Amino acid sequence: MEEQKTDIGIDEQQEYLINMGPQHPSTHGVLRLLVSLKGEIVKNVEPHIGYIHRGIEKMCESITYPQIIHLTDRMDYLSAHINNEAVCLNIEKALEVDIPDRIKVIRTIMSELTRIQSHQLFWSTFGMDLGGLTCFFYGLRDREKILDIFEETCGSRMIVSYNCPGGLMYDIHPNFQERVKAFLKYFRKTLPEYDQLLTGNVIFRQRTEGIGRLSLKDAISFGVTGPTARASGFSCDVRIHEPYSAYDRVKFNEVLFNEGDTFHRYLVRMDEIRESMDIVEQLIDNIPEGPFAVKMKPVIKLPEGEYYQSVETARGELGVYIISDGNKNPYRVKFRSPNFVNLSALNMMTKDFKIADLVAISGSLDLIIPDIDR
């Protein structure tokens, strides 16, 4: 610890440094936060990242376009399907392929199911960060049902790799619609349990209300997106502002709050679960007939140029930026990952709060470390 070189100017007399991570229960992975504390009060948080850096962007330069999709699963593994979709949409846009409605609708349903399971896991781990261990099991109990649906249709539970350029890997399972409807019916009943266990709890409210306020101005200037920004009143939902897939044909509200504290970041996600359920409900009975994939060339080559597509993952805006020189490999790929940007606001939000609040705030950002490091 003594040799730790940092550019934080800490007051040696009053403050001390503590390493939260890379192995720490509440960082949900291998994030390392170098925290300078004065007693219990957080004075500075310096995130040190790169412990799970795999060079995904660099790897993309040496593999073909369909292969890139499988790498994006490993970024934000809880929004795996949405990440895949982003790359596919970008490739399809570049090739100017017309995508049949059936594919769009199935992609949207899968994306929303992915969002629901991601927010369920957020709820579980957020409860756990605050010391309510029971939440974890309640959340996982319901998440399992979605993963079962994924398993049946995609063959894989979490890292689905269901998309391919031009459509989907395979058609949906015959049981898909029935099971999704059964799940919605079940989850509408169990979702109030989440509120009973956590949302209404006095201790929970005390721990989260007014903690880690992020103002609208700061949210915009830090480039924060997703539920974290929407809790501060920043209307940034890509699904609404630049609708892709089938989002232009469904009705749903963007959940917005103005308070910007930890509690409202939590509430946004809880309400988004309900919105996502509404979206799935609108689409599940109206899956049009048609092919599940468009026939593409065996070797996909993007025409020379730059392509960008952003989607709304469970954590914010994921941008996929591809520069192509006309080869079968991209010249350069850049992912604008929401977690990396959201993490940058952590220091400002935690200043002068207690160490226990640091855990609550970083929990409410819902960080996925592999997405930060890539």
Partner 1 sequence: MPFNIYDFTSLTQWIDTGLRNAMSPFWTVVIEMLIVGVLILLFYAVIGLFLVYAERKVCAFMQNRLGPNRVGPFGMFQTIADLIKLLLVELVPIKNADKLLFNLAPFIVIIASFMAIAAIPFAKGLHAIDLNIGVFYIVAVSAMGVIGILLAGWSSNNKYSLIGAMRSGAQIVSYELSVGLSLITIVILAGSMQLSEIVMAQADGWFIFKGHIPAFIAFVIFLVASTAETNRGPFDLAEAESELTAGYHTEYSGIKFAFFFLAEYMNMFIVASIAATVFLGGWMPFHVGHWSGFNNIMDFIPPFIWYIAKTFFVIFLMMWFKWTFPRLRIDQLLTLEWKYLLPINLVNVLIMAFIVLMGWHF
Among 6, 11, 14, 18, binds partner 1 (CB under 8 A): 18
Task: Note whether 198 binds partner 1 by CB under 8 A.
Answer: yes
Among positions 298-327, residues that touch partner 1 (CB under 8 A) are none
Task: Note whether 48 binds partner 1 by CB under 8 A.
Answer: no
3 state SS of 189: helix
Distance CA(151)–CA(224), nearest Å, equals: 32
Among 81, 107, 115, 207, binds partner 1 (CB under 8 A): 207
Q: How far is the CB of 128 from partner 1 (least distance, A)?
A: 6
DSSP 343: H
- The runs of H, that is alpha helices, within the chain are 56-60, 65-72, 80-95, 101-129, 134-154, 176-194, 202-208, 216-222, 227-230, 238-241, 262-284, 338-344, 346-350, 355-364, 369-373
Task: Note whether 134 binds partner 1 by CB under 8 A.
Answer: yes
Burial of 202-240, coded b for 16+ CB within 10 Å and e otherwise, reads eebeebbeebbbbeeebbeebbbbbbbbbbbbbebbbbe
Burial class (CB in 10 A: 0-12, 13-18, 19+), 13: exposed
Distance CA(23)–CA(1), nearest Å, equals: 15
Q: What is the dihedral of CA 257, 29, 194, 120, to 10 degrees?
A: 80
Q: How far is the CB of 190 from partner 1 (least distance, A)?
A: 11
Task: Note whether 350 binds partner 1 by CB under 8 A.
Answer: no
Judge contact between 373 and 52, C-beta under 8 A. Answer: yes
State both tokens at 342.
């959201």
Q: Would you say 220 or 355 has its CB closer to partner 1?
A: 355
Residue entry with tokens 């468009």 = 294
Task: Note whether 288 binds partner 1 by CB under 8 A.
Answer: no
Task: Note whether 146 binds partner 1 by CB under 8 A.
Answer: no
Q: How far is the CB of 120 from partner 1 (least distance, A)?
A: 14
Q: φ, ψ for residue 24 (rounded to 5)?
A: -145, 140
Task: Note whether 356 binds partner 1 by CB under 8 A.
Answer: yes
Q: Of the ranges 68-76, 105-113, 203-211, 283-291, which one interacts with partner 1 (CB under 8 A)?
A: 203-211
Q: Of the ranges 149-157, 225-233, 352-360, 365-373, which one interacts with partner 1 (CB under 8 A)?
A: 352-360
Q: Would you say 41 or 323 has its CB closer to partner 1?
A: 41
Among 53, 133, 209, 288, binds partner 1 (CB under 8 A): 133
Among 359, 361, 369, 372, binds partner 1 (CB under 8 A): 359
Name the β-bridge partners of 293: 167
Q: How far is the CB of 323 from partner 1 (least distance, A)?
A: 42
Centroid of chain to Cα 285: 26
Q: Of the ranges 2-10, 63-71, 129-137, 177-185, which one interacts with partner 1 (CB under 8 A)?
A: 129-137
Among 197, 220, 240, 296, binds partner 1 (CB under 8 A): 197
Task: Note whether 25 binds partner 1 by CB under 8 A.
Answer: yes
Which residues of this protein are in contact with partner 1, per CB under 8 A?
Answer: 16, 18, 24-26, 40, 127-134, 136-138, 141, 197-198, 201, 203-204, 206-207, 354-357, 359
